[in-house]
């Protein structure tokens, strides 16, 4: 017994080192497993608060740019709205309760944004108190940003599309051939759309939008345009490089999308499995 104690005391630094290293590696592995990235995230009061404080300067510096983006978006929405009035007369919707819509939008500001690492996250300045929950989609007026991952009362963390764990269902705007969107970790402006069947008539410059298979995003949210493409090793699927419409290095304000039907659809699918 004495010898064991002596051994422990003599090697206490080595043991401490191994313990701390194991702890650090354990945390690392945890972040690499999707949805288990547990208690360590920038969405906590301390780091969130500091980021939010530092971001106030940044917000002020970019006011002009944010205004311009808003004007642009307003212009687009107004165009859509005017055309809508021409085709559909509004009076037809007398029963307003059944036209609630499937999606609910909230706004938030990005207070921390990573894009240079293989696994990137963003932090938003809204959390549970604003009604945000995990698995909500995050977009800007230009396109998709990512999916909410962890939430605390005032902040939330978003898995960016620039994350090797992220997989978003996406399709060609023209033909509805779909695949999944991943990132190879190299260029923050280019993501990869894989598993698109060979039959799809892909052309450079085609628009890629979110697919209808996802319960997170509405169908048809823009993502990017086809930069180039080639067949994969099996010669039956395309690997497409997609240039993002969003500048992921400069985001600012975002919309958080809640799918109000999500719970019911998931429940239905679960019943199906049983």
Partner 1 sequence: MNNSILKNIIRFVGLVFIQVLILNNINFLGYINPYLYVLFILLYPFNANQSLFLILSFLLGFSIDLFEDSGGVHAAACVVIAFIRPNLLRFSFGISYDHQNLRLSTTPFGARLSYIFISIIIHHFILFFLEMFSFSHIIIVLKKTLFSGIFSVITIMLSLIVFSKKYR
Binding residues for partner 1, per CB under 8 A? Answer: 12-13, 16-17, 20-21, 23-32, 37, 40-42, 44, 46-47, 50-51, 54, 112, 114-119, 121, 123, 157, 185-188, 249
Of the pair 22, 80, the CB lying nearest partner 1 is at 22
Q: Which helix (H) or strand (E) holds 112?
A: strand 103-113
Distance between CA atoms of 8 and 230, rounded to whole angstroms? 59
Beta bridge partners, 259, equal 103
Which of residues 36 and 230 has its CB atom nearest to partner 1 in the complex?
36
Nearer to partner 1, 54 or 260 (CB): 54
Measured from the CB atom, the residue of 117 and 203 that comes closer to partner 1 is: 117
How far separated are the first and last CA of the chain, in Å rounded? 56
For residue 16, the minimal CB distance to partner 1 (Å) is 5
Report in angstroms how near the CB of residue 153 gets to partner 1 at its nearest.
Answer: 17
Which C-beta is closer to partner 1: that of 119 or that of 173?
119
Contact (CB, 8 A) for 190 and 247: no
Tokens of 66: 């944010």
- SS3 at position 273: helix
> And the tokens for 68?
């311009």
Q: Toward partner 1, which CB reaches closer, 29 or 265?
A: 29
CB of 160 to partner 1, least distance (A): 10
Q: How far is residue 78's CA from residue 89's CA, in Å, rounded to a whole number?
A: 17
Q: How far is the CB of 59 from partner 1 (least distance, A)?
A: 14
3-state secondary structure at position 36:
coil
To partner 1, the closest distance from the beta carbon of 69 in angstroms equals: 21
CB of 121 to partner 1, least distance (A): 4
Task: Record the tokens describing residue 104, joined without a space.
Answer: 């609910």
- Closer residue to partner 1, CB minimum distance, 47 or 141: 47
Q: Say if CB 168 and CB 214 are below 8 A apart.
A: yes
Cα gap 205→195, rounded to integer Å:
19
| Helices and strands in the chain, H and E counts | 5, 12
**Contact, 126 vs 244, CB < 8 A?**
no
Q: How far apart are CA 190 and CA 194, in angstroms?
A: 13
Minimum CB separation of residue 223 from partner 1 in Å reads 21
Minimum distance, C-beta of residue 189 to partner 1, in the bound complex (Å): 10
Q: Which residues contact 173 (CB under 8 A, 6 or more apart)?
A: 206, 207, 208, 209, 220, 222
Of 65 and 219, which has the nearer Cβ to partner 1? 65
């Amino acid at each position: 017994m004495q010898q064991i104690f002596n051994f422990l005391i003599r090697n206490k630094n080595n043991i401490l080192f191994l313990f701390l290293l194991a702890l650090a590696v354990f945390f690392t592995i945890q972040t690499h497993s999707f949805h288990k990235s547990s208690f360590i995230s920038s969405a906590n009061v301390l780091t969130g608060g500091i980021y939010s404080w530092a971001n106030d300067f940044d917000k002020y510096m970019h006011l002009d740019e944010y205004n311009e983006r808003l004007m642009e978006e307003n212009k687009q929405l107004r165009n859509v709205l005017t055309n809508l009035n021409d085709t559909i007369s509004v009076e037809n919707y007398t029963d307003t309760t059944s036209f609630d819509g499937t999606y609910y939008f909230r706004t938030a500001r990005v207070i921390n944004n990573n894009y240079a690492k293989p696994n990137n996250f963003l932090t938003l300045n809204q959390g549970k108190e604003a009604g945000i929950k995990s698995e909500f989609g995050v977009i800007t007026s230009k396109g998709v940003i990512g999916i909410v991952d962890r939430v605390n009362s005032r902040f939330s963390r978003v898995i960016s599309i620039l994350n090797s764990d992220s997989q978003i269902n996406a399709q060609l705007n023209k033909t509805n051939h779909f695949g999944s969107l991943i990132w190879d970790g190299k260029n923050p402006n280019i993501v990869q759309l894989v598993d698109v069947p060979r039959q799809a008539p892909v052309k450079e410059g085609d628009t890629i939008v979110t697919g209808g298979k996802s319960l997170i995003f509405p169908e048809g949210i823009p993502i990017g345009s086809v930069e180039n493409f080639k067949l994969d090793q099996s010669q039956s699927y395309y690997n497409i490089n997609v240039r993002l419409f969003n500048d992921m290095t400069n985001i600012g304000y975002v919309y958080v999308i809640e799918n109000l039907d999500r719970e019911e659809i998931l429940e239905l699918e679960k019943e199906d499995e049983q």
